[in-house]
């Protein structure tokens, strides 16, 4: 027997979630299949469906965007509040799973699951997002690059809930490329780029002013190398430079052999996918 | 067990559920609305699709106890009894139904699309069907039917 509560306030929800056998229910697109398959057996399910403070997307003074943990992928995909490099967010959201999952699944739920083959971890690392956590003991913010730690392991402690994700102001434009076996599948390899360039159309290249580059689904957590980003800034970004950046990331990749492809295959397609994503940032 | 009231196809239904009972289980086993099919039971096949507040949803991924404030439409509720919607008739006319197991979910996925995009192009139709598996025939006749009902 599993209990069910749908509290009206966040404080009440956090008090219930202090029990380590309780699980929060957001959009249900991960928790419910795990329940159906017997992978998790909580004593209590705490629905977050009535908590207004977890909803909505708002633009803050200064240009950051705060996304409530209960915002669905579909809401993020259609939001017009993301500007410049922040457009990586809707461009990622529209590629998550399929329409039914996008309509129900939430960014907070996806973060809390911490699946490195999912789309949000790699994009949030590229954005330098902050993930806001709350528990009965208080609140804290954790950078996405620290939050996602290992396969299905995050910084979340017992009793903590993801309450919001904040995207800082970012220059340029966002591009997300996901290589998957079929529409709707998790990524075999994914690449998230935020790029601001002075484009020289004649040579199909551009001088890089700002770049954020992360790859996902090729190891236990997203890979973002600030040394690679720094090496690109101020340089002409052409096909060769873009592929070299991909090769540097592939050298750090630690993919698994799994049903989405062999580790060798993922390592091989990664540099080219990075190259294509960066070039799409130059020539949209 | 928890006593809940669900609003399904316009009528209120009293049900008794466990916290982890899915909406699909309640629809099929308590309300005997067996048009929603249990294919995979973990959100991959789309055969259990319903509309929740007008939006496409997988009933195997909704907990019944979490649905009290939502208006649920199942395949049994999309048309008047003994009538077909234009889309359903188009699927029949196009020969888009073989074993029929996926068809209720396909109908709801396409009705959800046509509700927000009455004149979809082929890409939009295929995207809308992205979460619905058909293992009989492929999707050609299904896509043809959707385009026909939208564009004549």
Task: State mean pLDDT over A23-37.
Answer: 97
B126 and B145 inside one domain: yes
* Interface contact B127-A99, CB threshold 8 A: yes
pLDDT digits (tens, 9 = 90+) for A240-250: 999 999 999 99
Q: How far is B42 from chain A (nearest CA, A)?
A: 4
Query: Within 13 Å of residue A107, how many CA atoms lie on the same side as its CB?
Result: 35
pLDDT at A25: 98
pLDDT surpasses 80 at B22: yes
Question: Would you place residue A67 in the very low, low, confident or very high pLDDT band (cuts 50, 70, 90)?
Answer: very high
For the segment A89-134, what is each residue's pLDDT rounded down to a tens digit? 999 999 999 999 999 999 999 999 999 999 999 999 999 999 999 9
The enclosing domain of B144 has a CATH number of: 1.10.150.120
Closest CA to A147 of A175, A127, A177: A127
- Do B131 and A28 make contact, defined as CB atoms within 8 angstroms? no
Closest CA to A195 of A147, A233, A225, A164: A233
3-class secondary structure, A160: coil
Average pLDDT value for residue range A148-166:
97
Percent above pLDDT 90 for chain A: 95
Clarify whether residues B97 and B51 are in a common domain. no
Q: Are the beta carbons of A76 and A27 closer than 8 angstroms?
A: no
Question: Per mean pLDDT, which range of A41-45, A176-180, A211-215, A277-281 is the poorest?
Answer: A277-281
Confidence bin at A257 (pLDDT 50/70/90) = very high
State the average pLDDT for chain A.
Answer: 96
Taking CA B27 as the corner, what is the angle to CA A47 and CA A33, rounded to the nearest 5 degrees?
Answer: 50
Q: Domain end: B11, B45, B77, which one?
A: B77
Tell me the per-residue pLDDT of B75-100, one tens digit each, with 9 for 90 and over: 999 999 899 999 999 999 999 999 99
For range B97-106, the mean pLDDT? 96
Does the structure show a pLDDT above 80 at B110? yes
Of B24, B43, B77, the residue that ends a domain is: B77
Q: Cα Rg for chain B, rounded, in angstroms?
A: 15
Distance from CA of A5 to the nearest CA of B (A): 8
* Statement to judge: residues B126 and B67 lie in one domain: no
Residues B55 and B119 placed together within one structural domain of the fold: no
Question: Using CB atoms, which residue from B46, B61, B69 is nearest to A29?
Answer: B61
- CB-nearest partner of A98 from B18, B63, B130: B130
pLDDT tens-digit series, residues B30-60: 999 999 999 999 999 999 999 999 999 999 9
- What is the pLDDT at residue A199? 84
Residues of B in contact with A115 (CB under 8 A): none
**Model ipTM?**
0.94
Contact B2 A33 (CB under 8 A): no
Question: What was the pLDDT predicted at B152?
Answer: 87
Does B102 lie in the same domain as B147?
A: yes
**Residues B144 and B102 both lie in one domain:** yes
Please give the Cα distance from B93 to B80 (Å, whole number). Answer: 19
Which residue range forms the structural domain that includes residue B134? 86-151
CA A244 from chain centre, in angstroms, equals: 24
The reported pLDDT for the residue numbered B138 is 79
User: For residue A274, what pLDDT is reported?
Assistant: 97
Same-domain status, B52 and B98:
no
Predicted pLDDT at A221: 97
Q: Is there a single domain that holds both residue B71 and residue B15?
A: yes
End position of a domain, from candidates B48, B77, B106: B77
Whether residue B72 sits in one domain with residue B7:
yes
Euclidean distance between CA atoms A207 and A219, whole angstroms: 31
Write out pLDDT tens, residues A79-91: 999 999 999 999 9
Q: Count up the domains in chain B and report the number.
A: 2
- Cβ contact (<8 Å) for B2 and A4? yes
Average pLDDT score over residue span A60-76? 98
Average confidence (pLDDT) over A152-181: 97
Read off the pTM.
0.96
Question: How far is Cα A190 from Cα A186, in angstroms, rounded to an integer?
Answer: 9
pLDDT bucket at A13, cuts 50 / 70 / 90:
very high
If asked whether residues B98 and B66 sit together in one domain, one would say no
Confidence check: pLDDT of A9 > 90: yes
Is residue B135 helix, strand or coil?
coil
Closest chain A C-alpha to B21 CA, distance in angstroms = 9
In 10 A of CB A252, how many CB atoms? Answer: 14
Q: In the predicted model, is pLDDT for residue A205 greater than 90?
A: no
B69 and B101 belong to one structural domain: no
The reported pLDDT for the residue numbered A54 is 98
Supply the pLDDT for residue A283. Answer: 78
**Chain A residues 109-168 with CB within 8 Å of chain B:** none
Which residues, in sequence order, are bridge partners of residue A46?
A5, A24
B6 and B73 share one domain: yes
Nearest chain B residue to A31, by CA:
B61
Tokens of A91: 């461009």
Q: What is the pLDDT of residue B74?
A: 98
Contact B2, B17 (CB under 8 A): yes
């Amino acid at each position: 027997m599993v209990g069910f509560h749908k509290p009206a306030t966040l404080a009440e929800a956090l008090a219930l979630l202090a029990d380590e056998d309780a699980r929060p229910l957001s959009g249900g697109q991960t928790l419910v299949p795990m329940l159906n398959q017997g992978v998790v057996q909580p004593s209590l399910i705490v629905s977050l469906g009535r908590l207004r403070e977890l909803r909505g997307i708002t633009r803050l003074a200064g240009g950051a965007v705060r996304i409530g943990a209960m915002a669905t992928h579909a809401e993020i995909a259609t939001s017009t509040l993301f500007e410049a490099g922040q457009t990586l967010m809707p461009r990622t959201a529209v590629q998550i799973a399929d329409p039914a999952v996008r309509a129900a699944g939430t960014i907070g739920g996806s973060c809390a699951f911490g699946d490195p083959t999912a789309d949000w971890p790699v994009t949030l690392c590229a954005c330098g997002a902050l993930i806001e956590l709350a528990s009965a003991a208080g609140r804290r913010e954790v950078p996405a690059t620290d939050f996602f730690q290992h396969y299905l392991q995050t910084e979340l402690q017992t009793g903590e809930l993801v309450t919001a994700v904040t995207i800082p102001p970012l220059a340029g434009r966002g591009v997300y490329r996901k290589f998957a076996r079929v529409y709707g599948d998790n990524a075999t390899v994914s690449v998230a780029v935020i790029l601001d360039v002075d484009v020289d159309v004649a040579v199909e290249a551009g001088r890089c002013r700002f770049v954020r580059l992360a790859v996902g689904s090729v190891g236990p957590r997203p890979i973002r190398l600030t040394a690679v980003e720094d090496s690109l800034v101020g340089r002409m970004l052409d096909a060769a430079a873009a592929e070299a950046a991909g090769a540097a990331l592939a050298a750090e990749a630690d993919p698994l052999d799994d049903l989405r492809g062999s580790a060798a295959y993922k390592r091989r397609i990664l540099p080219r996918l990075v190259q294509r994503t960066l070039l799409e940032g130059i020539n949209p | 067990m928890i006593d809940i009231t669900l609003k399904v196809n316009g009528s209120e239904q009293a049900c008794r559920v466990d916290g982890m009972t899915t909406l699909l289980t309640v629809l099929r086993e308590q309300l005997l609305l067996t048009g929603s099919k249990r294919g995979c039971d973990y959100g991959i096949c789309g055969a259990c699709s319903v509309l929740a507040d007008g939006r496409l949803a997988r009933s195997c991924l909704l907990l019944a106890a979490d649905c009290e404030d939502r208006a649920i439409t199942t395949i049994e509720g999309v048309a008047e009894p003994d009538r077909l919607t234009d889309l359903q008739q188009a699927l029949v006319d196009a020969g888009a139904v073989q074993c029929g197991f996926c068809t209720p979910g396909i109908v709801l996925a396409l009705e959800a699309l046509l509700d927000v995009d009455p004149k979809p192009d082929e890409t939009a139709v295929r995207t809308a069907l992205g979460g619905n598996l058909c293992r009989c025939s492929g999707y050609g006749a299904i896509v043809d039917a959707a385009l026909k009902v939208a564009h004549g």
